Structure 1
Amino acid sequence: MHDIDRRESATYAVIGAGLSGASVAWRLAESGAEVIVLERDVPASALGSSHGSARIFRYGYLDPFYAGLVVQARRGWEELEAASGRRLITPSGALDFGAVRDPRGLADVLDTVGVEHELLSRPDAGTRWPQLRFDTEVLWHPGAGVIDAEESVHAMLELAQRAGAQLRTGWDVAYVRHGFTGYVLTSATGRTVHAEQVIVAAGGWLPALLGDLDLPGGFSDAMPQFEVRQENAFHFAYREQSDHGEPAPDAATSWPTFIYKGDDIQTYGLPGGRDADHRGQKVAEYNGGRVIRSARDQDGRIDAANRHRVAGFVERFAPGLESDTYAETTCLFTNVPRDDMIIDRAAGVTILSPCSGQGAKFAPLLGELVHDLVTGAGRSDERFRAVGQRFAGAVR
């Protein structure tokens, strides 16, 4: 039981215990700072964006800036795995194909940042991965893998708590007010925490919270327009044998992650892990879910039209998978117009929003970047600054 009559305090209050918030707590606590993490549900909640065992770790970006950030993040993952004693990324390699995905352009970027890769013709890729079909050249980079998001959250929080951080669950932040000596955070049930600085890592819950953060006017106006989508993810079982009667490739060793971007659909797939009993591949359409105002409006209902589009993709491009789903779920994507991460601050409030379905791979690095920003050891890269982005047609 918490003593609700006693105001808790810390130098830093972190709102949200997903991958982003856990990373910030870990990096700040290990530096010796007083940290308290406030989570409205539980760490890696199924109502957020950091639950489950299957997220893609990949280097494939057409932008050298982000590809270089992945290289930095990989060092953080290695540090986290060593410190926690857990394997958090399972190697799988990754395939990129489709005319819009531009495998050759990706290969040029990976050359620039020094990441091992191979550009394959359609026939060569088809011979190596007969469980998939390809319609363009294919980029293969073996350093990719599958992130266990939930285990990663717990690993970072355990390290943070070992270094002195406090974690409060069931603590739904209602509003934040600026006072003479910092900030007072008040929960929906009236509990309070005092902090010198606040880091907001609320994921899909951020849009509903923004208006209650007591942000300086100019900073509030500079916040981008956030779009939250309730995405659908579908699990398709591995076939026991190929269309030609041969035994199917061993799923544990031969199914890579993949990203396909064509003219009619953009999808991604990865081994589903324990999320669906290790029986198949998780496949989803990128930004295929319906737009909602914030995470508070999610209902967990699967979009039948989205299921039909993804199943059609599987039938065309993944003969090694059964064409019917055996498990389905929803998750949250938080998008901004330019797809850049938001890591910016004004006064004592920092907004951290990795955005656009890309945050998981950067998790250990996010805490480093925020640590440097809030302690004055560094400043936010211009790419991460809030600059008032709006989606086309949006009214400001």
Structure 2
Amino acid sequence: MSDTHHLVVGAGLAGASTAWRLAQRGHEVTLVDRTRPAAADGSSHGSARILRFAYPEALYARLVVRALDGWRELEAAAGTSLLTPAPALDHGPGRDPRALARVLAEVGVEHEVLTAARARARWPQVAADGEVLHQPGGAVVDAEATVRAAVAQAEAHGARVLTSWPLSSLERTGSGPRTRFTARSGDGRALEAAHVIVAAGGWLPDLLPALGLPARFLAALPPLVVTQESALHLPYRDARAHDAWPTVIHQGTTGPAVYALPGGRDAGFRGLKVAEHATGPRIPSAAHRSGVVDPAGRERLLAHAARHLPGAVLEPYAETTCLYTSTPAEDFVIDGADGVTVVSACSGHGAKFAPLLGELAADAATGAGVVPDRFRVS
């Protein structure tokens, strides 16, 4: 049996960033993953996530601004770009561009509100639904490259990384500052740790009963819903247009939000990734993921693209699924009890915060800083 002080379970964006931040602060860290970092059956694979500032609440907009320092730090340390600049557009009455603009003005983020005609003149590949909020500081996040960079930085600061290590049980001995945990993998390997941070994404519902968390904590934990979301890759009408595409979020008076962004490496740089937000079928946990794209969802996405994305060809050349683990309010969970910290429920919008999530999780695990009350269970 080997020993560590902090055991981080799950090497996706949140877990890898947490291991990096803990190791960077001089803590002894072991990071384990059930398969490998940024695995394709999790929530942190691929090259295309949106970084945008527009939120209806200032809390999240300010956190995006704060996360940018972490992105610059990680890019500098890794010696590679993890964010590709891309203007961010929000349109449709359900997005309420002017209300979002008021939040950005409060936070001090550069933005402008354009008429549909002005937006169409600037981005003819997008057919706006009314006014458009433009955030010139937006970007596309390469999620998988970010995980690799964070894992590498964790290792550079002394962390140990173990792959093909699925947590199956957690046994507690002692209490208070003398608490020790024995974590066992599915094949019987064991690690002993003084503190455990679980960032297991869609596998968290399966793991919660094994973590020995107090009943009061579990009762206060918001419900965690895992959904399997579908995404299409649509070719650009102009094959040279990859770098000219903005990221786009649209929501009408009814129905879900739909987002579109340059697909990057995932799409061979030749197409647009298009998906709905949080409409996929519910599954008990990531272990039940089928990987099958929802046919009704596919048709809705093609209908949306026909109305609002004239720069895309309505013939998908690739399609995929991904996982959301969401709370009812789409807030994150960064809190714990009795030596176990839970970092989860990115609710489909957590990628842009990755370096900051690691910082907040390290604060929660060590007591070195304050986590926003919205993310606390207790």
TM superposition score category, shorter chain reference: over 0.9
Deviations along 1:20-57, one digit per CA (max 9) or x if unpaired, are 00000000001111100110011000011000111111
Does residue 112 (structure 1) correspond to residue 106 (structure 2)? The answer is yes
- 2:323 pairs, out of 328, 332, 335, with 332
Counterpart residue number, 1:302:
293
- Unpaired runs of 5+ residues, structure 2, are none
Counterpart residue number, 1:185:
183
Aligned to 1:196, the other structure's residue is in SS state strand
Counterpart residue number, 2:69:
75
Counterpart residue number, 2:339:
348
Does residue 238 (structure 1) correspond to residue 264 (structure 2)? The answer is no
Counterpart residue number, 2:243:
253
Partner letter of residue 225 of structure 2? E
Q: Partners in 1 of 2:264 and 2:132 — Cα distance?
A: 24
Q: Partners in 2 of 1:92 and 1:331 — Cα distance?
A: 22
Q: Partners in 1 of 2:36 and 2:251 — Cα distance?
A: 35
CA-CA distance at 1:252 after TM superposition? 3.0
Which stretch shows the higher mean deviation, 113-122 or 366-375? 366-375
Partner letter of residue 313 of structure 2? E
CA-CA distance at 1:341 after TM superposition? 0.7
Partner letter of residue 250 of structure 2? Y
TM-score, normalised relative to structure 2: 0.97
Q: Partners in 1 of 2:88 and 2:367 — Cα distance?
A: 37
* Structure 1 vs Structure 2 CA RMSD: 1.1
Which stretch shows the higher mean deviation, 378-387 or 190-199? 378-387
Partner letter of residue 365 of structure 2? V
Across the two proteins, how many residue pairs are aligned to each other?
Answer: 373
Q: Structure 1 stretches (4+) deviating beyond 3 angstroms?
A: none
Counterpart residue number, 2:170:
176
Q: Partners in 2 of 1:127 and 1:37 — Cα distance?
A: 49
Counterpart residue number, 2:81:
87
Deviations along 1:84-136, one digit per CA (max 9) or x if unpaired, are 10100000110000101010011111111111111001111111111111111
- 2:216 pairs, out of 210, 215, 218, with 218
TM-score, normalised relative to structure 1: 0.92
Q: Partners in 1 of 2:363 and 2:275 — Cα distance?
A: 35
Aligned to 1:371, the other structure's residue is in SS state helix
Aligned to 2:59, the other structure's residue is in SS state helix
Partner letter of residue 378 of structure 1? G
Q: Partners in 1 of 2:57 and 2:129 — Cα distance?
A: 23
Counterpart residue number, 1:129:
123
Q: Partners in 1 of 2:371 and 2:236 — Cα distance?
A: 44
CA-CA distance at 1:354 after TM superposition? 4.2
Does residue 383 (structure 1) correspond to residue 369 (structure 2)? The answer is no
Counterpart residue number, 2:192:
194
- 1:154 pairs, out of 148, 159, 180, with 148
Counterpart residue number, 1:315:
306
Instruction: Calculate percent identity across the aligned residue pairs.
Output: 51
- 1:42 pairs, out of 36, 44, 63, with 36
Aligned to 2:11, the other structure's residue is in SS state coil
Aligned to 1:235, the other structure's residue is in SS state strand
Q: Partners in 2 of 1:351 and 1:174 — Cα distance?
A: 16
Aligned to 1:282, the other structure's residue is in SS state strand
- 1:27 pairs, out of 21, 25, 32, with 21
Check the 8 A contact 2:236/2:242 in 1, yes or no: no
